[in-house]
Amino acid sequence: MKIKNGQDYLRSLRKINPVVYYKGKKIKDVTRHPATAPHARAAAMTYALVNDPEYQDLATAVSHLTGKTISRFTHVHQGMEDLIKKVKLLRVLGQKTGSCFQRCVGLDGINAVYSVAYEIDQKYGTDYFERFKKWLTYIQEENLMVVGAMTDPKGDRSKGPAEQSDPDQYVHVVERREDGLVIRGAKLHMTGGVNSHEILIMPTTAMDPTAKDYALVCAVPVNTPGVTMIFGRQANDNRKDNKERIDAGNPVFGGVGGEAVIAFENVFVPWERVFMNGETEFTGNLVYRFAAHHRANYGGCKTGLIDVLTGAVTYLAQIQGTAKASHVRDKVTEMIHLGETLYSSAIACAAEGWPTPSGAYMVDTMLANVGKHNATRFHFEVARLASDLAGGFLATLPSEYDLKSEDVGHLVKKYFSGVANFPTEDRIKIGRLIESMTGGTALVESMHGAGSPQAQRVMIFREGDLNKKVKLAKALAGIPPTRVK
Residue of 119, 279, 400, 445 marked catalytic? 445
Residue of 128, 298, 315, 343 marked catalytic? 298
Residue of 22, 39, 100, 310 marked catalytic? 100
Residue of 198, 244, 259, 400 marked catalytic? 259
Any catalytic annotation for residue 218?
Answer: no
Residue of 39, 172, 294, 379 marked catalytic? 294
Any catalytic annotation for residue 259?
Answer: yes
Residue of 119, 197, 279, 301 marked catalytic? 301
Any catalytic annotation for residue 104?
Answer: yes
18 phi and psi, to 5 degrees? Answer: -75, 165
335 burial (CB, 10 Å; 0-12 / 13-18 / 19+) is buried
Residue of 151, 191, 303, 356 marked catalytic? 191
Residue of 47, 74, 104, 283 marked catalytic? 104
CB atoms within 10 A of CB 413: 15
Q: Would you give the end-to-end CA distance of the chain in angstroms?
A: 56
Any catalytic annotation for residue 54?
Answer: no
Any catalytic annotation for residue 445?
Answer: yes
Any catalytic annotation for residue 175?
Answer: no
Any catalytic annotation for residue 410?
Answer: no
Any catalytic annotation for residue 334?
Answer: no
Catalytic residues: 100, 104, 191, 259, 294, 298, 301, 445
